[in-house]
């Protein structure tokens, strides 16, 4: 009986809504192209979290509110879309990922560990590489490339090295990208191409890990040494890159993302994105971050205008990499790691990529040229360097009230005293709570309970009034925004420990971190990130409401549809 009463009430309300809409048909600018109703519609605005309906015209929102208010925009040609209880909210604004890197790796060998992939040991890696070599008919002398291997999840509990790879691939250079993106493993053929031998010193900001009791490279390269090797890899043709770009955008759209980020973009990659945009190949917006390695080429160059969106592409800021990976043990800390670090004998605190003076110069140049600063900083040591650079740079600014909004990407092991400075300086930490699941157990071993438990401290940041975002860092972890939300709400590790229970947040704050807060991070809060009149009709529709489901099942929520400026670009 209760179910019948509920159904009857629903049918009655729907009938009233539709009849009210049909009594007066607006015309011209008042009539909506589309009206969505009958489902939880989450605005991501604290003042009014949920509305009954939303109206869209010409790719923008023209009304949100009650059935009666929105129904006044129901015209002769308005399409009425019944959500049937599904949840609509703003399209996800990607706070940090690498859509450009995904193009390079999309057709290469995926080597991730369970539960994402199936790689459990080094023989699995060799087997997958051999299968790829056969399937692609890779000839002698051509590169074999894999990505996503994680030594902490391998049965051997170590990196594969050149000896493992040489035996299986004596005639091909092999390159394996570590799951962090900050290290790689290569074989002897690849080392020969890069002219890395026992006589070459470590590059500034990098380490060439050596064989035991020897100066000969082991094949494991960290930070700058890894980046140097990447420069020798082959690049796809223009036609192939356009095909991969389309596939990548489709994948982002399938995850409810309507604005994506390319987290570090070199000159050639930026030029490719510009050509693709000009040719009308972008179906979602892309926020590209110019690489600090090409700062001089980007800054002041009319070919690369910052802060100007054209054909759905915008150069949003400059990306600086100031340290490495905590699971790769190259993130820079004020105190040493508690476990052995490859390539380091004592006081192993990680690798600062830039010296203080270099970092300060880059930060100052960004602030003086109105270029938003995005800095990768994982360890508290790297954050100290950045805060010092910020203090020095802002002392030279003529306008102390400039809207800088510097973003500290990852900020994983920020200290409480550093968070206080974030708040004072209006800095935006872009946290990375997926680490709690994928490497929480590893961080406990490497860093100890106190440091590991304060990883991505979202609740403390919330209580301090800090605007923060959360990201997947794809391809480092899966692109799923719902898994990301699950990790922020639950903070569960692979071994099912709760890592830092005091830092868990509720789903509403978690959703804000990937919608309105992400829009604010990119200085786009006037056009997206929440459901308000005048903003883009960028929506994602979910099969369940994240605010009311069991928190443990948030990761199982599915994206049903993604709408970009009123047009459906993904439908399950």
Q: What is the pLDDT of residues 120-161, one digit of tens each?
A: 999 999 999 999 999 999 999 999 999 999 999 999 999 999
pLDDT digits (tens, 9 = 90+) for 310-330: 999 999 999 999 999 999 999
Structural contact between residues 383 and 411, judged by C-beta atoms closer than 8 angstroms: yes
Class of domain 99-230: alpha beta
Structurally, at CATH architecture level, domain 2-85 sits in Roll (2.30)
Mean pLDDT for 328-357 is: 96
pLDDT value of position 26: 62
Task: Record the tokens describing residue 388, joined without a space.
Answer: 């010092």
Determine whether domain 238-526 maps to CATH 3.20.20.140. yes
Number of neighbours of residue 135 by Cβ within 10 angstroms:
9
User: Beta 34-42 vs 469-470: how paired, if at all?
Assistant: unpaired
Q: Is the peptide bond before 255 cis (omega within 30 degrees of 0)?
A: no
Asked if pLDDT for residue 78 goes beyond 90, the answer is yes
**Distance (Å, whole) CA 110 – CA 147:** 5
Considering only 26-30, 148-152, 180-184, 418-422, which range has the smallest mean pLDDT? 26-30
pLDDT averaged over the chain?
94
Q: Identify which of 122, 40, 46, 82 has the alpha carbon closest to the alpha carbon of residue 517.
A: 46
Asked if pLDDT for residue 345 goes beyond 80, the answer is yes
pLDDT digits (tens, 9 = 90+) for 445-457: 999 999 999 999 9
Mean pLDDT for 549-565 is: 98
pLDDT grade, residue 15 (50/70/90)?
Answer: very low
Number of neighbours of residue 267 by Cβ within 10 angstroms:
16
Asked if pLDDT for residue 10 goes beyond 60, the answer is no
> Per the confidence metrics, is the pTM higher than 0.85?
yes
pLDDT value of position 399: 78
Asked if pLDDT for residue 251 goes beyond 70, the answer is yes
Asked if pLDDT for residue 19 goes beyond 60, the answer is no
Residues 172-198: b if buried by 16+ CB within 10 A, e if exposed: bbbbbbbbbbbbbbbbbbbbebbebee
Asked if pLDDT for residue 11 goes beyond 70, the answer is no
pLDDT grade, residue 30 (50/70/90)?
Answer: confident
Q: How is the chain split into domains, by residue range? A: 2-85, 99-230, 238-526
473: left (phi over 0), alpha (psi -120 to 50) or beta: left
């Amino acid at each position: 009986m209760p179910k019948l009463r509920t159904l009857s009430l629903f049918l009655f309300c729907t009938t009233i809504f539709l009849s009210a809409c049909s009594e007066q048909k607006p015309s011209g600018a008042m009539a909506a192209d589309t009206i969505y109703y009958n489902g939880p519609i989450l605005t991501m605005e604290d003042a009014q979290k949920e509305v009954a309906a939303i109206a869209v015209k010409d790719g923008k929102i023209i009304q949100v509110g009650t059935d009666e208010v929105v129904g006044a925009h129901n015209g002769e040609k308005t399409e009425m879309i019944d959500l049937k209880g599904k949840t609509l909210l703003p399209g996800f604004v990607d706070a940090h990922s690498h859509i450009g890197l995904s193009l390079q790796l999309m057709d290469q060998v995926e080597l991730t560990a369970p539960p994402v992939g199936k790689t459990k040991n080094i023989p699995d890696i060799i087997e997958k590489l051999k299968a790829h070599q056969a399937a692609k008919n890779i000839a002698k002398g051509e590169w074999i490339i894999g990505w996503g291997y994680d030594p902490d999840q391998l049965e051997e509990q170590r990196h594969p090295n050149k000896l493992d790879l040489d035996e299986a691939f004596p005639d091909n250079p092999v390159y394996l990208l570590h799951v962090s993106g900050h290290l790689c493993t290569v074989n002897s053929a690849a080392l020969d191409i890069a002219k890395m031998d026992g006589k070459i010193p470590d590059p500034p900001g990098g380490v060439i890990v050596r064989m035991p009791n020897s100066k000969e490279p082991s094949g494991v390269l960290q930070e700058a040494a890894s980046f140097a090797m990447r420069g020798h890899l082959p690049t796809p043709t223009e036609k192939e890159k356009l095909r991969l770009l389309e596939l990548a955008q489709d994948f982002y759209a399938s995850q409810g993302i309507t604005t994506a980020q390319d987290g570090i973009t070199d000159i050639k990659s930026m030029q490719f994105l510009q050509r693709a945009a000009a040719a009308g190949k972008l179906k979602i917006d892309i926020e590209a971050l110019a690489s600090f390695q090409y700062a001089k080429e980007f800054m002041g160059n009319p070919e690369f205008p910052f802060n100007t969106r054209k054909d759905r592409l915008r150069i949003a800021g400059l990306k600086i990499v100031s340290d490495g990976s905590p699971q790769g043990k190259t993130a820079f800390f004020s105190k040493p790691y508690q476990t052995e670090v490859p390539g380091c004998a004592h006081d192993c605190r990680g690798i600062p990529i830039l010296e203080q003076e270099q970092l300060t110069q880059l930060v100052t140049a960004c602030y003086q040229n109105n270029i938003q600063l995005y800095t990768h900083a994982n360890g508290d040591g790297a954050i100290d360097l950045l805060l010092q650079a910020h203090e020095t740079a802002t002392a030279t600014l003529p306008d102390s009230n400039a809207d800088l909004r510097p973003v500290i990407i990852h900020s994983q092991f920020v200290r409480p005293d550093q968070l206080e400075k974030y708040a004072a300086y209006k800095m935006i930490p872009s946290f990375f709570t997926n680490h709690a699941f994928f490497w929480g157990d590893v961080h406990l071993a490497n860093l100890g309970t106190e440091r590991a438990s304060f990883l991505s401290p979202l609740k403390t940041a919330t209580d301090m009034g800090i605007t923060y975002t959360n990201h997947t860092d794809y391809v480092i972890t899966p692109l799923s925004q719902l898994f990301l939300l699950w990790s922020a709400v639950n903070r569960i590790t692979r071994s099912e420990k709760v890592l830092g229970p005091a830092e868990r947040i509720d789903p509403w704050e978690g959703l804000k971190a990937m919608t309105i807060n992400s829009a604010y991070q990119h200085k786009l809060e006037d056009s997206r990130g929440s459901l308000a009149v005048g903003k883009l009709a960028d929506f994602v529709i979910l099969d369940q409401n994240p605010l009311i489901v069991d928190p443990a099942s948030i990761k199982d929520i599915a994206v049903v549809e993604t709408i970009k400026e009123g047009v459906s670009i993904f439908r399950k």
